[in-house]
Amino acid sequence: MIIYTLVDDTKKNQVLLIFSLIFYSWGGPRYLILLLVDTWASWWFAIQITRHRKQAKHYLLGECVVLLGLLGIFKYTVFFCSNFHAWFGIPKVIPQIVLPIGISFYTFQLLSYVIDVYRKEVKAQPKFWKLLLYSSLFHQCIAGPIVRYETVANEIEHRQVSQSDIYEGIRRFCVGLAKKAILANGCASVADTLLPFQQSALQNQAITGLWLGMLFYMLQIYLDFSAYSDMAIGMGRMVGFHYLENFNYPYMAHSVQDFWRKWHISLSTFFRDYVYIPLGGSRCSKTKFIRNMTIVWFLTGMWHGASWNYILWGLYYLVFLLLERFVYGNRLRSIGAHIYTLFVVYIGWVIFRFENGSQLLTVLAGMIGMGSHAFTSMQVHTLFLENIFFLLFCILACTYIGKAIRHLLPVIGKSNAIIYTIYTWGELLLPPVLLILSVLALIGNSYNPFLYFQF
């Protein structure tokens, strides 16, 4: 940031690109080559689409083959080989392929760019290095959100940073860092204590331990992933990029459909705009609509991971979305609808967490009292009492309360000097306080899981 601030405006993009590539290389220099290849291919195909409109479909197909092919090789080769080995005994040796960090995110970004060029919704970027800047921006390259080229196209060429942008960016980053370092990591510690990835431990866990562990995991995955988005949006704003929101308090949703309008918005809109609508969307027969939804939710599950549980997770949501559309739809109301939605999402996270089928069945069965699980235990009782206030705070962090208070205080402050002073000092002190607390939490705790880096 220091170098970026000091250099001339004409050099800021170059500085940002250099440090973005260095940042990405830190997690595995050899995979930088893959990012360069994907970006160059997308740049070339987009240029060819613009120059040769009659052959545009062929170049678009080439883009899809190259990018989705590379994604398939790195993300799904081990999955398919393992299944073929289990079913047919081939291949004899299963290749070990490490998943490059962020490959799903930048692959979808580049695909959306080329498709939008094909649709004439954006102009092809003539300079390769500027498209590379778009695909490698360190703010969001490795953990999202999925940023459309049209969102930042103008800001790559021309952007201004105001004092408000800098403050709001710093504040948003510090809030995201605190959500990750303090809240998400704290939830992860409890969840992994109660729900270790060991069959024997899960079989011996109490029923209340299974439910409490999954509650902490449910909070962890939202706080963890939304924290990445907060930090990306904040860092982007500090240098003049205005990314769209990726989460809108999804645990406040009143239907499963509403949940997916609020959860990982950039992924949901990608599948809507580039898969669902091109297939015909909802403007078709009932049979084709179900087909379209099945394809979208199968792909949604596959995108999240190369394991059967993710596919099951995607199809699980498909069932409830179809039920909402064709069975009980508008009958969902108010508090009951909210409870129903949270319960569906809660069980969905059970499916999402356990890639091992035996572990998944053990937990699901144990939660309804099947098996030899005790109702509760001293461990569960102790963990609950030790973390009850932390749990309540995490729940509140998933609601609109903080945002509502921030908007309400300046309004009340117009007629109350004390409230206005509290608001002013709060805005001034919140970022540094959160930053200090987050750094202390990271220094004092080596347990720092990164859930979404696997995607």
Residues with a catalytic annotation lie at: 304
Compute the distance between CA of residue 71 and CA of residue 302 in angstroms, rounded to an integer.
11
Q: Which two tokens stand for residue 411?
A: 């309004």
Amino acid at 156: I
Identify the CA nearest to 306 among candidates 142, 94, 162: 94
Which structure tokens are listed for 123? 């102009």
CB contact at 8 A, 266 and 244 = yes
CA distance readout (Å), 8 to 19, 237, 367, 429, 453? 16, 18, 60, 31, 34
Please give the biggest Cα pair distance in the chain. 76
Contact 252, 264 (CB under 8 A): no
- Assess contact for 178 and 437: CB atoms under 8 A: yes
Token couple for 394 = 């995490």
Tell which residue, 393, 431, 426, has the closest CA to residue 407: 426
Burial 44-67 (b: 16+ CB within 10 A, else e): bbbbbbbeeeeebeebbebbeebb
